[in-house]
């Protein structure tokens, strides 16, 4: 795991080293830079996970015609290594080195062979290739600068911070795509939208169990200790239970206010699994003191991201005291139908629209929850892995019909969400955990309920109306949102590099209603429900 940065089309090594220092938190173990005379500079900040002693970046091909800096993990590295070892002399035990040799054999088509999470930059002669993993688990931003003499210079980095002084448009590289220094792009993966297949739910459950177990095993690949974020909810508990089968001394990590749902449930799961469990009891001061840094690292001001990022921040800080890698449960809600608003589609009989909504949520994870997880963990030099977003499991989940993901309960009054996932993991966990209702991380930890405390501490009551007048184009909807927006501007200025990359997934919902309120949560979800209702009626 690393942070990468560079430019192609100009040679400015001091500039690239400045960029790397800005994202040094992503890779505290080492810095490496490659200068290609007349072409450009690429660099890496390394968090040593695989082959810590010899896997220093940049990595080179045998004839040094190809050079790589990469952020992420390639989970099919063992099989690819066996395939390539007869044709190439591998110099390290780093999984990233496989990318170079695969590219020697297959060219840009090599990206489609990689099973993992990654953002990388690869030099091949005078050309630079950028690539991002299929689901966008790892970030990568880029922009083209046109010089006075007409030259186009490609700039790139793992985080927007490293590109903060850009005077040209910066955008995120799309998941499952490549881009070269000539501006040629290619998409090698899209989240599939299969036609649902009619199978017995128990057959689906068996296949989900097999695919998920295989994914967790692959995601445990590491030369350093691995742990699990354990909220006590279904998704993280499943990941912990499966990981425990392969790790004798598994560390688990939980945070929350005293008496919160997450802490109590996590304790029960940890005791059941026999993990080495660590927890952090949060206080109000823990919210107040870290919020500005959370916003700065998040590079975003959407309330639903920032508020949930605060407990993630504390969990990452706790975990980094013991491990360098954690597995997380993100992706399960989108694949298997875990959000409460999904049931509105069921009540309206719009299963076809719900099917597409699950697909949309999965395909846009890179712009919300995955960004939260990446920024909060990497801020502490911690690598987070997402077993639910293994492409084989995604492909399987996208074939499972809505009838297997939601099951009407015995009373006939409500649906059980993620039903097939619960069936798949029967016997792994106590029933009170396996059938525990969904609680979002921020709610389960008790953070969301204390959002009003932040408004008091930062004098943000009434800020929403002021921000609406001052920044009408943002249509800021709540005092809470205005508070985070103000903090982002205080950190980076009114900078389009950041503000133009705040994804509109939640802000677009808010823009549909011009009303303003100082009650950040209740009115927010009222608007979301109205937006969903409008989609269903259409």
Hunting for tokens 């004839």 — which residue is that?
63
**For residues 485, 164, 168 and 45, what is the CA-based torsion angle, rounded to 10 degrees?**
-130
Rg (CA), the chain: 23
CB of 325 within 8 A of CB of 48? no
Instruction: Give dist(CA 233, CA 262) in Å, integer.
Output: 7
Q: Token digits for 468? A: 């609406």
Instruction: Give dist(CA 96, CA 167) in Å, integer.
Output: 32
Instruction: Give dist(CA 143, CA 152) in Å, integer.
Output: 10
- CB-neighbour burial class of residue 454 (10 A; exposed 0-12, middle 13-18, buried 19+): buried
Q: Which long-range contacts (CB under 8 A, 24 or more apart) does 209-213 make?
A: 209/424, 209/425, 211/390, 211/392, 211/393, 211/396, 212/238, 212/242, 212/387, 212/388, 212/393, 212/424, 212/425, 213/242, 213/245
**What is the CB neighbour count within 10 angstroms for residue 339?**
17
Instruction: Give dist(CA 367, CA 375) in Å, integer.
Output: 12
Helix axes 261-273, 234-244, angle to 10 degrees: 20
**What is the CB neighbour count within 10 angstroms for residue 28?**
15
**What is the CB neighbour count within 10 angstroms for residue 443?**
18
Catalytic sites, residue numbers: 2
CB of 137 within 8 A of CB of 120? no
């Amino acid at each position: 795991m690393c942070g990468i940065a560079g430019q192609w089309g100009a040679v400015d090594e001091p500039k690239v080293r400045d960029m790397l220092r800005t994202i040094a938190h992503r890779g505290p173990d080492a810095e490496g830079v490659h200068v290609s005379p007349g072409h450009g500079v690429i660099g890496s900040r390394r968090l040593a996970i695989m082959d810590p002693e010899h896997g220093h970046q940049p990595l080179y091909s045998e004839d040094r015609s190809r050079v790589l800096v990469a952020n992420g993990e390639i989970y099919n590295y063992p099989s690819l290594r066996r395939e390539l070892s007869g044709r190439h002399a591998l110099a390290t035990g780093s999984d990233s080195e496989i990318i170079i040799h695969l590219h020697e054999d297959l060219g840009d088509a090599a990206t489609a062979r990689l099973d993992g999470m990654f953002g990388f930059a690869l030099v091949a002669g005078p050309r630079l290739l950028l690539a991002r993993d299929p689901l966008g688990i790892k970030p990568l931003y880029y922009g083209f600068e046109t010089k006075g003499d007409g030259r186009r210079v490609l700039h790139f980095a793992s985080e927007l911070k490293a590109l903060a002084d850009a005077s040209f448009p910066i955008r995120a590289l799309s998941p499952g795509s490549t881009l070269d220094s000539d501006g040629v792009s290619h998409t090698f993966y899209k989240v599939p939208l299969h036609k649902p297949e009619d199978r017995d739910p128990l057959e689906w459950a068996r296949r989900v169990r097999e695919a998920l177990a295989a994914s967790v095993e692959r995601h445990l690949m590491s030369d350093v200790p691995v742990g699990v974020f354990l909220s006590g909810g279904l998704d993280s508990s499943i990941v912990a239970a499966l990981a425990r089968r392969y790790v004798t001394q598994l560390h688990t990590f939980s945070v929350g206010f005293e008496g919160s749902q997450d802490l109590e449930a996590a304790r029960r799961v940890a005791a059941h699994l026999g993990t080495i469990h660590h927890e952090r009891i949060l206080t109000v001061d823990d919210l107040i003191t870290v919020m500005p840094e959370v916003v700065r690292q998040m590079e975003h001001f959407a309330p639903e991201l920032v508020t949930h990022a605060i407990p993630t921040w504390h969990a990452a800080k706790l975990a980094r005291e013991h491990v360098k890698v954690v597995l997380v449960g993100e992706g399960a809600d989108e694949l298997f139908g875990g959000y409460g608003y999904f049931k509105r589609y069921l009540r309206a009989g719009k299963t076809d629209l719900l099917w597409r909504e699950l697909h949309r949520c999965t395909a846009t994870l890179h712009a919300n929850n995955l960004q939260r997880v990446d920024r909060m963990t990497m801020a502490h030099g911690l690598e987070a892995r997402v077993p639910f977003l293994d492409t084989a499991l995604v492909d399987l989940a996208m074939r499972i019909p809505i009838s297997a993901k939601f099951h009407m309960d015995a009373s006939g009054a409500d649906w059980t969400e993620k039903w097939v996932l619960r069936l798949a993991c029967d016997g792994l966990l106590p029933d009170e955990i396996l059938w525990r209702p969904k609680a979002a991380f921020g709610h389960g930890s008790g953070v969301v309920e204390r959002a009003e405390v932040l408004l008091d501490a930062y004098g943000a009551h009434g800020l929403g109306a002021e921000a609406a007048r001052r920044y009408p184009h943002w249509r800021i909807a709540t005092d809470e949102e205005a508070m985070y927006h103000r903090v982002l501007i205080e950190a980076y200025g009114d900078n389009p590099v950041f503000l133009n990359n705040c994804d509109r997934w939640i802000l677009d919902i808010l823009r549909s209603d011009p009303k303003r309120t100082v009650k950040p949560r209740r009115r927010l979800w009222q608007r979301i429900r109205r937006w969903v209702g409008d989609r269903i009626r259409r």
